[in-house]
Amino acid sequence: MLKVAILTGGNVAERSVSLKSAQTVFKHLDDLKYEKYVIELNGTVFSEQQTGAVVNLNDFTLPTPNGAIKFDLVYQMLHGHPAEDGCLQGYFEVLGIPYTGCDVMASAITFNKQACKDFLCSHNIPMAPSKVLRKGESINWAELEALGIPVFVKPNKNGSSYGASKVNAPDQLAGAIDHAFEYDDEVVVEGFLKGNEFSNGVLRRDGEIVVLPITEIVPHNEFFDFKAKYENQSQEITPARLSAEQTALVQSQTKLIYEALGCRGICRFDYIQVGDTFFFLEANTIPGMSEQSIVPQQARAYGWTITELLDAAVDEALAR
């Protein structure tokens, strides 16, 4: 039976989301296939949730009264730093421990929203215009004004919409930028696109890329913010109310982005539709995995159980 460390926690704003996702993974990973341990990061310490035993970081083993447990696989369910940005992937590669999800390079690129957009420019992916600001550097307000109003302001390297806001008047911009800087040392100011929001999950199974059904997001608020994502303040419709042609367009774009970025494991890409164009917003390489999260919704619409979805991620990680 494979020994799996389900990695969760962390010292970031998304910690609560990570803990909830890890419980779903623990619940749905097949008990007949896997010996499961939830490993939580607090500060710089990884510990096993049930016993509190501290992981030995020299080899990522778990000490027990019957000897150290060596993990066969790490299932990454830790949102944000240090998992979603590629830091832990490098650590596990040095130790030779398989892990789910993207490798170091793809994780680093996708976690940096502006770097990801810059990378995808050469692949003719439609995207909103944007500018990146860095803490401590002067701001070219004329460049920002050229983006028009409204705009979105969000941390460049963060998820779950923490620190993100929609700016509807010029006098709100400075405050929104300051708020986003509370979560990151880089902030993206992005041109506003008025349209419908969609999200599309994708993964590999048996070596083939599987693009899941699309979810249409109808937020009760102005945009798909934290409350819309995690406090049931949005309507999520899966499969999305799109024509067959529109569905094929989004799914082909999802596959192209997944391949272009060199992604692995389960990813989710977000879009906004303006006319007949679906503009790419951002990539999520460790998407939420609670029972209500978008990717599990899409898996069910595809005809999979959550267990089958997780099995596919594990099988791909072990086959690398």
Q: Which residues are catalytic?
A: 14, 160, 230, 268, 270, 282, 284, 288
Terminal-residue alpha carbon distance, the chain: 19
Alpha-carbon distance of 113 to 132, in angstroms, equals: 9
Closest residue by Cα to residue 242 from 258, 253, 256, 229: 253
Contact 260, 121 (CB under 8 A): no
Question: If phi over 0 gives left and psi between -120 and 50 gives alpha, with beta otherwise, what is residue 258?
Answer: alpha
Give me the count of residues in the chain: 320
Max CA separation in the chain (angstroms): 65
Strands (E), 56-129: 61-62, 69-70, 73-76
Instruction: Please name the helix (run of DSSP H) or strand (run of DSSP E) that holds residue 146, with its range, or none.
Output: helix 141-146
Alpha-carbon distance of 278 to 280, in angstroms, equals: 6
Backbone angles phi, psi at 80, to 5 degrees: 75, -165
Alpha-carbon distance of 132 to 154, in angstroms, equals: 10
Burial of 252 (0-12, 13-18, 19+ CB in 10 A): exposed
Orientation angle between helical segments 15-28 and 306-319, nearest 10 degrees: 90
